[in-house]
Amino acid sequence: MIDIKLIRENKELVKENIKKKFQDEKLGLVDEIYDLDCKYRDTKQKMDEERAEKNRLSDQIGQLMRDGKKEEAMSIKEKVSKMGEEIDRLTKEEEELSKTIKEKMMVIPNIIAEDVPIGKDDTENVELKRFGDPVVPDYEIPYHADILESFNALDKEASGRTSGNGFYYLIGDAARLSSAMLAYARDFMIDKGFTYCIPPFMIRSDVVTGVMSFAEMDAMMYKIEGEDLYLIGTSEHSMIGKFKDQILKKESLPITMTSYSPCFRKEVGAHGIEERGIYRVHQFEKQEMIVICEPEDSEEWYEKMWQYTVELFRSLDIPVRQLECCSGDLADLKYKSCDIEAWSPRQQKYFEVGSCSNLTDAQARRLGIRVKSDKGNYYLHTLNNTVLASTRALIALLENNYQEDGSVKIPKVLQPYMGGKEKIEKC
């Protein structure tokens, strides 16, 4: 959520930002909010004036009674009573206006960075840099589900019976390899100075609407029937939510945390759920990182965070690239974002394995995350980044470490987590 001062002082800037995000249907909201805010401030001023006058007159009543001017005191008392009714009316009007303004403000997208490329959707994202040489071996790389099935490691038929489409059983060495990658990613981030955390896997609706837009919530989140709880789509949600309505001390900043969680997603949209494989599924596991920092430090942290993901994937012998998200591909709360994509030698193209985002103060403003300062409290900046998502990272590892004999080489950094095992072989 942006600062309403932007609409008060520069409506055209906000409208231009909406146009850059190709959300012209929201342009009318800016003028609506501006008019409502004028009415809100006028109502508040009237209420403050009435309250001050009421207090002034109330002070007179006691003195008049002491002076024996009972009739005059009773007349003022009657006037004060009517003023109280007017103050109650104005208070109610102020509360209703404040609620309406907030609801409409929640729909206005965050101001994007000046260097974000302008484009309608993810097809117009821009490649910035590649890391590692993409290799296509002179032998065929099978589809990842076939590789897993050659190890007796994937059972989607059974998960279809127990849970339906979009779920899977991961078995044996492949399951162990998935857990090894997550454990390695955890230790990798701890070595970078991040504090490890296992957060709640369910959050309340006021946290959900604090960390994401309503459209994202409807497309992603599973609601627990009969309760004000949602299954998390990523641990960023509960990790940022941990600081809801908190006023933090400057000396505690920056807050840098890495978290493990299962992730649950409806995956509503054009992409759909993958029938055979594990690329797009309803459930997976993830190691995440979040940073809460001073506003002037968030750009620097953004650069550090996506580079951590690149470093991790390169240590797994996986070539990757950084793809900058264009304006139309940015979720409403994001100031800027980039995807890290892994090389697929089978498809001979890159695919998304993680995303890094700077949300400036948009989440903090929704959730009330501030820092205490001598010059007054102010909102902090929040950032998040995927360290490693289990299913997609597993696909990238299988393809890039697949050997001609059908085995999969285990990268050296993972071998200690696999009991020293150097490869997984066909059954």
pLDDT number for residue 56 = 82
pLDDT number for residue 61 = 72
pLDDT number for residue 142 = 96
Domain spans of the chain, in order of start = 4-105, 122-424
**330, 326, 354: which is closest to 340 by C-alpha?**
354
CA distance 376 to 354: 37
| CATH fold for the domain made of 122-424 | BirA Bifunctional Protein; domain 2 (3.30.930)
pLDDT number for residue 276 = 85
Could you say which residues of the chain have pLDDT below 50? none
pLDDT number for residue 59 = 73
* Helix, strand, coil percent values for the chain (each to nearest 5): 50, 20, 35
Sign of CA dihedral 340, 383, 282, 215: negative
pLDDT number for residue 375 = 81
pLDDT number for residue 67 = 72
Give tens-digit pLDDT for 228-284: 999 999 999 999 999 999 999 999 999 999 999 999 999 765 566 777 899 999 999
pLDDT number for residue 66 = 72
pLDDT number for residue 215 = 77
| CATH fold for the domain made of 4-105 | Helix Hairpins (1.10.287)
Residue 254: cis peptide before it, omega within 30 degrees of 0: yes
For residues 111 and 17, is the Cβ–Cβ distance under 8 A? Answer: yes
**6, 183, 177: which is closest to 105 by C-alpha?**
6
